[in-house]
Structure formats: C-alpha cells, structure tokens
Amino acid sequence: MLDTAAIKQLSRKEKFRIMESIWEDLSMEDELIESPAWHKEALSKTENRLRAGQEQILDWKDAKEELRKRFE
C-alpha cells in the first residue's frame, strides 16, 4: 500500500490512473454507497443548466481525456 509520502512522489498521470482504478473498484459496489443530500441538489442544478443550454454533454471517454490534458 502507498503511504502519503509515496503518493506525493508520483506523477499526475500516475495519480490519475490510481484514482481511476480506485473509483472503478468502488463503483462496483454502488448500491452500498449512499449519496449525500447535496449531491441531489447539484444534479438538479446541472439538469437545469442543461435544459437552458448552458451545459455541454461529453462522452465519458472524451471528458476523461480533456481532464487529463488539463491536469498533466
């Protein structure tokens, strides 16, 4: 297991890969995870912006690529 000091030594690219692996593992158990109340409100606001044409829909693959470019 990596400790905080070891994580700080990783490149951004390596950190994102680890985060994706962790998220993938956690998402396999989504029925065990209860969303916080603020999450429903945030989703509702996003849906309203989408209806108003103020949000752009991106394919998850494209969104990840865009985020990687932004944070590398």
Model confidence pLDDT, tens digit, residues 20-37: 999 888 888 777 778 889
- Token look-up 């950190």 returns 15
The predicted-structure confidence for 45-56, as pLDDT tens digits, reads as follows 999 999 999 998
Residue 72: predicted pLDDT: 79
* pLDDT at 31 (0 to 100): 74
Q: Return the half-sphere exposure (C-beta side, CA atoms, 13 A cut-off) of residue 66.
A: 7
CA–CA separation, 61 and 56 (whole Å): 14
Name the pTM for this structure. Answer: 0.45
Window from 2-6, 19-23, 32-36, 62-66 with minimum mean pLDDT: 32-36
Per-residue pLDDT, 26 = 83
Q: At what angle do helices 60-71 and 12-27 cross, to 10 degrees?
A: 150
